[in-house]
């Protein structure tokens, strides 16, 4: 099961976050900081799967954008890795280029859908 979905730039700023389990706001900030630090500190030669606390992180880098998905221990990492790629391909086709402004637009759409 997917626990959260993050899109982060190379500076470590969260551009989009979506949680599928309840996590308190102050814990989200700490969780995102630790997850981002773990993913951004890895080299391109290292695996894109990380064991982290009681779940796994699957991440993929596209230019200056990192997509990170937190999953439980039973989820298939390769399936999630492919899901990330398909998600970015859809964004790329729909918006022509996946850039920071597109992510701001998505964040606004997700915010409005909660109302």
Which pLDDT band holds residue 115 (cuts at 50, 70, 90)?
very low
Domain around 77: 2-110
Phi, psi (rounded to 5 degrees) for 20: -110, 5
Whole-angstrom distance, CA of residue 108 vs CA of residue 104: 6
Residue 106 domain-assigned? Answer: yes
Q: Is the pTM of this model over 0.85?
A: no
Residue 115 domain-assigned? Answer: no
Residue 85 domain-assigned? Answer: yes
Phi, psi (rounded to 5 degrees) for 52: -140, 115
Residue 60 has which token pair?
């993929």
Whole-angstrom distance, CA of residue 34 vs CA of residue 99: 24
Total domains, the chain = 1
Residues recorded for the chain = 115
Whole-number pLDDT of residue 20 = 93
Residue 21 domain-assigned? Answer: yes
């Amino acid at each position: 099961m997917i626990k959260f979905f993050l899109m982060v730039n190379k500076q470590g700023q969260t551009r989009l976050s979506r949680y599928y389990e309840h996590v308190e706001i102050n814990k989200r900030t700490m969780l995102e900081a630790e997850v981002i630090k773990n993913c951004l500190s890895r080299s391109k030669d290292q695996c894109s799967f990380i064991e982290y606390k009681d779940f796994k992180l699957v991440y993929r880098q596209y230019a200056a954008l990192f997509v990170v998905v937190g999953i439980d221990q039973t989820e298939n990492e390769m399936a999630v890795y492919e899901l990330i790629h398909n998600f970015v391909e859809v964004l790329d086709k729909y918006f022509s280029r996946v850039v920071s402004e597109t992510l701001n637009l998505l964040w606004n759409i997700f915010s409005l859908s909660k109302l």
